[in-house]
Structures are given as structure tokens and as C-alpha cells.
Amino acid sequence: MQETSTCSYDELEERLDSAAAVSGAAEAHGLLCGIICAGGKASPGTWLDHVLGEGNTLSAAARDCSELLDGLQAEILRQFNDDSFGFALLLPGDAASLMQRTQALSRWCAGYLYGLALGGIKDDATFPGDTGEVIKDFYEISNADFIADPTDDDNEEAYMEIMEYVRMSVLLMYEDLQSVPTSARLQ
């Protein structure tokens, strides 16, 4: 559940690094998910500037990365509309340390929140369902710091539960935010 069929976390991380991007793989994936959930109102040029860095879209590595991100965006949208809940967060695999995976989940949530803003969701919007509470939770997760014993099995279980909470919350928010009125979005 750690990878999408378009690319792996490591492949995207490597390509972003090659392009000297300002975002890592987890943050970029979160940002794309947030934009899509918000209604996809941000143009590719806007979000590419935020992922790669303003003015960093002309190099061959940046263009290559841009193509991969375009494919990833299409894959995310497909996953959001998959009746079998096949959406997966793009995070490091189980071979990475718990600390690395926790930090990546934190960056993923930060990217997601940023993507919502880029997609036009206002801070003071009235949200349907539990969306407002989930946004607060994502903010807390985005500020998470790893302070526990990395060998503790309880920490591994807690990470998996939080990751699943984020995954399912994103799917629910995608559905909920499609009904947010235009007045709650930036114009």
C-alpha cells in the first residue's frame, strides 16, 4: 500500500532530487492529492512551481519530473474514483526506519494542506461532515516529531493506524469537498 502504479516513492524522490526540487516525494504527492480534493483548480504551472521551485521547470530533469508528476496526478484521480478504495499514500516502504516513515507522513500531510490551499479552499470555509476536524488532525500530524523508541512494536502499530486514518480521511474528504460551494473557495 506504499506505492502507486505510476511510480514508487524512491523513484519520485530520486527524480525530484535530480531536478533540485524544493519538495520531496511525500510532500509532492500530498500536494497533488490536496489540489485534487480541493477541486483541482490550481494550474499545473502553479503547482509545479511549488514542487520544483519557482523558475526550475526548464531543465531536462525538471521536465522529466514534470511528466512523472502529471502521470501521478492522473493516477491519484483514478484511485480517488476507484470503488475498491485503492488509493495509496506515496510514502517510504517498510525497509525505511520508522523515524523516516513518520517524517515522510508528516511532510505528506503538510503537502496535502498546502494543496488544499492552492486548490482554492479557504481557511475559514465551512466544511461538510468531519472535514474540518480532519484538517485539524492533518495539521497536527504535519507537525509531528519522532521522539519514541524506534524499536517499539507499539510505535509501528500506531504509525500504521495513523497512516490508514490519513488514507481513509483523504478519500472521505475527496467526496465531501466535491460538494463545497464555490463561495467557500478562493476566486
**Rounded-to-integer distance, Cα 150 and Cα 8, Å:** 24
Please state, in angstroms and as integers, the Cα–Cα distance from residue 113 to each residue in 26, 120, 135, following that order: 13, 11, 7
Question: Which pLDDT tens digit goes with each residue over 45-62?
Answer: 778 888 988 877 778 888
On whether the CB atoms of residues 38 and 115 are closer than 8 A, the answer is yes
Alpha helices in the chain (DSSP H): 9-18, 25-37, 44-52, 60-80, 98-118, 131-142, 153-177
- With cut-offs at 50, 70 and 90, classify the pLDDT of residue 2: very low
Question: Which pLDDT tens digit goes with each residue over 86-112?
Answer: 899 999 999 999 989 999 999 999 999
Dig out the grid coordinates for 8 from the structure: 514508487
On whether the CB atoms of residues 68 and 18 are closer than 8 A, the answer is no
On whether the CB atoms of residues 111 and 31 are closer than 8 A, the answer is yes
**Rounded-to-integer distance, Cα 86 and Cα 149, Å:** 31
The 3-state DSSP class for residue 60 equals helix
- Chain centroid offset of residue 134 CA: 14
- Top CATH class of 9-184 equals mainly alpha
**Rounded-to-integer distance, Cα 31 and Cα 33, Å:** 5
| Residue bearing the bigger pLDDT, 60 or 152 | 60
Question: Which pLDDT tens digit goes with each residue over 9-44?
Answer: 999 999 999 999 999 999 999 999 999 998 867 777
Q: What's the full length of the chain, in residues?
A: 187
pLDDT the model gives residue 181: 52
Please state, in angstroms and as integers, the Cα–Cα distance from residue 141 to each residue in 37, 79, 111, 175, 185, following that order: 18, 23, 11, 21, 24
